[in-house]
Structure 1
């Protein structure tokens, strides 16, 4: 998840370090920190981590160490928000120029596109050197590599636009560069949408083509998710559905690849998780369930736990549910938990005020 717990300068806070330590103590196999930036000019939020020459190496090593106690792995999700970079701290650029309600961006030049694989590779190598357990290339949820895959975002007429073969070209180049940078044994995963759930966007048939093309790429795990943070789009994770979202897609993907498959989204019960494994999925991604109970893996394994009780929200504002869970991550990192849902509007206000407070800090650090 994107925990938004960085200090505004791209470095971990005490709360962030403690959060991943708590999850590791709770018995999960791997945590994945959402949207870690290699380039601070295309960040998702001012709470993102940034790997680069200005990074606080000691703080990052402390994060890597704390998140790997109890045999756990801590992986960094390598991100680039592209067209959906946060404007107060970024320069939004995507595959193509867009000017639509809620989203304006310029187009990346051919030179900027060609530089991206080495940028991801450098970030991955730094993650390895800092002691993290692996990396995940983020090609989902409407961020840059996902934008290249989508015909809604990608209207290029060069070798990176048009057919799905061209639209996936950058992703395959990034994967190849990352694998070359970290060597054959360091875990490299990819997060891929089954669909971005937008009419005319990235759909199942294209997603299956990407999965088939990843054979032999050196990828160790394909994490299947879906949806987008495109302005106004409903998040898949805010759905009122009663079970996992993308299992049917995973069953279609299974014959196309020998790479292990993980499915993330909608897992709320132990039954959901075990049934997914029985249907051929190799790993299950839990997000909000682990926000509600960070000890859930240990308790499920011991047979002592029921299922987490998910809060019910009435008429939440856009982004409100995500804000609520994000602020709960902060509470967990500070070793405090609220027992009630509380005021969703107040949580959203606190979430927004924290981002606002970090804008000047980020810009002073990276945009002077």
Structure 2
């Protein structure tokens, strides 16, 4: 594809709320695990998002920012509430929004996937499976969820973050409500898809109400959770149709879960992208801008998805871990693509651990071209989680 064809990636886009993103390339949400163990941003985290901003992205999304420390995904998560170190969050908002970039917070609640050493796993229904046990949320706890998400969103706005993304994908709490495998409630939050998606729509409406009409609110959804008997494409399209009538500015399409033993789309060895065909179906259900995240490895793939109408924005994650300046590189004449590592073994969670430790290298400006052994990465990742779990407990209690 010639250089003129690649211009599609560098056209601004105006969101329904009126905010303009400078191009079509986004740093998709990832759990960078760089919090200080008490839920506050670190200097390393500030540096990481500064690098992505200077690398040319239109927007970066910070993965899994918790409003409630009792349902955290990992002890490196950020926690934004009245007890947070707000000056550190303000510093992160400033640093990550340089060079015309936006910095958004992904509003998270791990639910059944809350990290047991530091959390209280609870989901839509009680679960007792190997590697995954949780209690059921009470009805009153469910009714509190929209307000909880909204409280974090309004704090993000006041602290200078450019927008928020509601996390309803990858097996976290709102995704659990959508799945008939994990939502077996017999009240008005369980049953058919119209009931299972009720809490998602209530969260969207409450967040929009508190942040006002001119602030970006996105949502991340699974095309499917890639589990037999779980959330399927036809149900995802029903939800997208319903979201078309809400105040959402952007629908971020991904897929898969991080439940123990489940297949993760991001750990696929395929060439990607994963969800562009689903996005074409979603186009028929909504006028909202669509972002497609997962498996984009080359400039031609990203350009084709935008110029062909499948996506309005491209969510890049691991590609930007390999090259944080990739948007600038793709805009240049060379347009080089990142070199993805080839692993001789891919143990469960190992690829995620490798990329997470690579993020640490980026944040400390010490990345190299050497591919770290995946078992070494797993060891370092787990050891850091153990150290931060101790800090977390001292900050938030057991």
Q: TM-score range by the shorter chain?
A: over 0.9
Q: Distance in 1 between matches of 2:329 and 2:132?
A: 43
Which residue number in structure 1 is paired with residue 377 of structure 2?
Answer: 347
Q: Distance in 2 between matches of 1:237 and 1:93?
A: 25
Range that drifts further, 273-282 or 220-229: 273-282
Find the partner of 1:13 among 42, 59, 64.
42
**2:137 maps to 1:105:** no
Query: Residue 218 of structure 1: CA displacement?
Result: 0.3
**2:229 maps to 1:200:** yes
Which residue number in structure 2 is paired with residue 364 of structure 1?
Answer: 394
Which residue number in structure 2 is paired with residue 322 of structure 1?
Answer: 352
Find the partner of 2:287 among 258, 262, 265.
258
Which residue number in structure 1 is paired with residue 65 of structure 2?
Answer: 36
Which residue number in structure 1 is paired with residue 25 of structure 2?
Answer: none
Which residue number in structure 1 is paired with residue 324 of structure 2?
Answer: 294
SS of structure 2 residue aligned to 1:300: helix
Q: Distance in 1 between matches of 2:372 and 2:209?
A: 48
Query: Residue 366 of structure 1: CA displacement?
Result: 1.2
Q: Distance in 2 between matches of 1:88 and 1:342?
A: 27
Residues 284-312 of structure 1 show CA distances to partners (whole Å, capped at 9, x for unaligned) of 00000000001110111122331111000
2:299/2:335 contact within 8 Å kept = no
Superposition pairs of residues 1-368 of structure 1, within 5 angstroms: 1-280=30-309, 281-367=311-397
1:263/1:285 contact within 8 Å kept = yes
Range that drifts further, 312-321 or 37-46: 312-321
Query: Residue 278 of structure 1: CA displacement?
Result: 2.1
1:251/1:279 contact within 8 Å kept = no
Query: Residue 316 of structure 1: CA displacement?
Result: 2.0
Residues 22-44 of structure 1 show CA distances to partners (whole Å, capped at 9, x for unaligned) of 00000000000110000100000
Q: How many residues align structurally?
A: 368
Q: Distance in 1 between matches of 2:73 and 2:363?
A: 21
SS of structure 2 residue aligned to 1:299: helix
TM-score (norm 2): 0.92
Which consecutive segments of 4 or more residues in structure 1 shift more than 3 A? Answer: none
SS of structure 1 residue aligned to 2:284: helix
Query: Residue 234 of structure 1: CA displacement?
Result: 2.0
Query: Residue 129 of structure 1: CA displacement?
Result: 0.5
2:61/2:106 contact within 8 Å kept = yes
Residues 47-71 of structure 1 show CA distances to partners (whole Å, capped at 9, x for unaligned) of 0000011111111111000000000
Q: Distance in 1 between matches of 2:116 and 2:105?
A: 23
Q: Distance in 2 between matches of 1:207 and 1:160?
A: 16
SS of structure 1 residue aligned to 2:206: helix
1:21/1:68 contact within 8 Å kept = yes
Range that drifts further, 311-320 or 190-199: 311-320
2:147/2:206 contact within 8 Å kept = yes
Q: Distance in 2 between matches of 1:303 and 1:135?
A: 33
Residues 1-28 of structure 1 show CA distances to partners (whole Å, capped at 9, x for unaligned) of 1100000000001100000000000000
2:222/2:236 contact within 8 Å kept = yes
TM-score (norm 1): 0.99
